[in-house]
Amino acid sequence: MSLQNLNSAVIPNSELAKQQGELGKEETYLRVIATRFLKHKLAVLGMIMFTLIVLMAIFAPVIAPHDPFEIGYEFEAKPSAEHILGTDQVGRDVLSRLIYASRVSLSVGLGAVAIYVVIGTILGAIAGYMGKWADMIIMRITDVFMSFPFLMVILVLVSVMGPSLFNIILVLGFLGWPPIARLVRGSVLSLREMDYVKAGVALGYTAPRILINHILPNALAPILVNATFGIAAAIIMEASLSFLGMGVQPPTASWGNMLTEAQSLTVLAQQPWLWIPPGLMIVLAVISINFMGDGLRDAVDPKSFK
Give the chain's domains with CATH numbers: 26-72+84-304 (1.10.3720.10)
Which residues neighbour 211 within 8 Å (Cβ) at sequence distance 6 or greater? 125, 129, 188
Predicted model pTM: 0.79
Confidence (pLDDT) at 302: 59
Report the interhelical angle of 150-161 vs 220-243 (nearest 10°): 60
Distance CA 243, CA 170 (A): 19
| pLDDT, tens digit (0-9, with 9 covering 90-100), for 2-42 | 444 444 444 444 444 444 444 344 457 677 778 888 888 89
Distance CA 251, CA 152 (A): 25
| pLDDT, tens digit (0-9, with 9 covering 90-100), for 170-202 | 999 998 889 999 998 988 888 887 887 788 778
Confidence (pLDDT) at 29: 65
pLDDT per residue as tens, the chain (306 positions)? 444 444 444 444 444 444 444 434 445 767 777 888 888 889 899 999 999 999 999 999 999 888 888 887 678 788 888 888 888 888 888 899 999 999 988 899 899 999 999 999 999 988 888 878 888 999 999 988 888 888 888 888 888 888 888 889 999 999 888 999 999 898 888 888 788 778 877 887 787 888 888 888 888 888 888 888 888 899 888 888 888 888 888 788 888 888 887 777 777 778 888 888 888 999 999 999 999 888 888 887 755 544
Contact between residue 248 and residue 168 where contact means Cβ atoms under 8 Å apart: yes
Could you give phi then psi for residue 93, rounded to 5 degrees? Answer: -70, 125
Confidence (pLDDT) at 34: 80
Q: How far is CA 270 from CA 11, 202, 264, 265, in A?
A: 77, 73, 10, 8
Provide the 10 A C-beta neighbour count for residue 268: 13
Q: How far is CA 88 from CA 46, 66, 180, in A?
A: 30, 13, 40
44 burial type by CB count under 10 A (0-12 exposed, 13-18 middle, 19+ buried): middle
Distance CA 268, CA 264 (A): 6
Residue 178: alpha-carbon gap to chain centroid: 17
